[in-house]
């Protein structure tokens, strides 16, 4: 099991960090509790898909944000490759770890994971999602895991804590004390998980752009992201079509 993902990632045909053979593009969105990364991801996936379909080549043009279904599809593909590809899978440990991370993905319990093999498994799945290209990965430490991979944009959503408390009170119908407790605990869990994944706290330079979610509407954030992607030539400008 210790060598499973080293072997898997070295042999995965779409990824080679040394040569730069790493398809994309992809986007990661990190957020503080109370900031709606999911809404940004959904809107962004629709707009970027529209940009892709303006080109002459319409094959595999859809952008998708990674929800539980997309995550599970990737896990199923990896399980098939593990079983059929002869990778280290004694006693079914590799498959078991893949399924454990898959089950945890849609729950906040994923941030309680401390087993290094499970964390390595998550890294492998995140890398696979990035390799697919035209994916938008929300949370799960994807930004710091993929920090040094090219052809991507790492985004961070932040807001003052008082604003986030008020927003969580409204969304979840909580008292102020309950909302504050929720935010503090969730931020601590996410920060702690990042430390488990990369061995340190997240820093501003782990992200390409940080938005103040309290002062910017969703559409303005999405428009800004699209402009950044165009200027970085991750997506084409309209007049390039």
Residue 178, exposed/middle/buried by CB under 10 A (0-12, 13-18, 19+)? Answer: middle
Give the separation between CA 174 and CA 204, rounded to whole angstroms: 31
Residue 58 maps to a domain: yes
Residue 231 maps to a domain: no
Residue 53 maps to a domain: yes
pLDDT per residue of the chain (241 residues) written in tens, 0 to 9 = 445 555 555 544 455 544 445 567 899 999 999 999 999 999 999 999 876 655 554 445 689 888 778 888 888 888 888 777 766 566 677 788 788 878 776 666 677 777 787 788 888 888 888 888 899 999 888 898 888 888 899 999 999 999 999 999 999 999 999 999 999 999 999 899 899 888 888 899 999 999 999 999 999 999 999 999 999 888 865 444 4
Residue 103 maps to a domain: yes
Domain that holds residue 87: 4-221
Residue 27: which H helix or E strand, with range? strand 26-31
Residue 233 maps to a domain: no
Q: How many domains does the chain have?
A: 1
Which CATH number characterizes residue 137's domain? Answer: 3.40.50.300
């Amino acid at each position: 099991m210790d060598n499973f993902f080293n072997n898997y990632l070295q042999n995965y045909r779409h990824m080679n960090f040394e040569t730069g053979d790493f398809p994309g593009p992809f986007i990661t969105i990190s957020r503080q509790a109370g900031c709606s990364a999911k809404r940004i991801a959904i809107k962004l996936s629709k707009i970027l898909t529209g940009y892709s379909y303006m080109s002459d080549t319409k094959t595999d043009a859809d952008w998708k944000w990674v929800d539980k279904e997309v995550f599970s599809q990737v896990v199923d593909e990896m399980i098939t490759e593990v079983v059929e590809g002869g990778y280290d899978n004694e006693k079914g440990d590799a498959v078991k770890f893949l399924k454990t991370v898959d089950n945890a993905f849609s729950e906040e319990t994923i941030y309680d994971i401390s087993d290094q093999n499970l964390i390595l498994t998550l890294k492998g799945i995140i890398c696979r999602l990035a390799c697919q290209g035209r994916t938008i990965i929300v949370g799960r430490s994807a930004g710091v895991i993929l920090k040094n991979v090219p052809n991507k944009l790492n985004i961070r959503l932040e807001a003052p804590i008082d604003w986030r408390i008020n927003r969580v009170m409204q969304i979840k119908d909580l008292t102020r004390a309950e909302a504050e407790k929720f935010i503090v605990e969730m931020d601590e869990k996410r920060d702690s998980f990042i430390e488990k994944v990369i061995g340190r706290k997240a820093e501003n330079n782990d992200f390409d752009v940080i938005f103040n979610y309290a002062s910017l509407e969703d559409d303005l954030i999405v428009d800004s992201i699209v402009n950044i992607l165009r200027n970085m030539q991750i997506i084409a400008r309209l007049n390039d079509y």
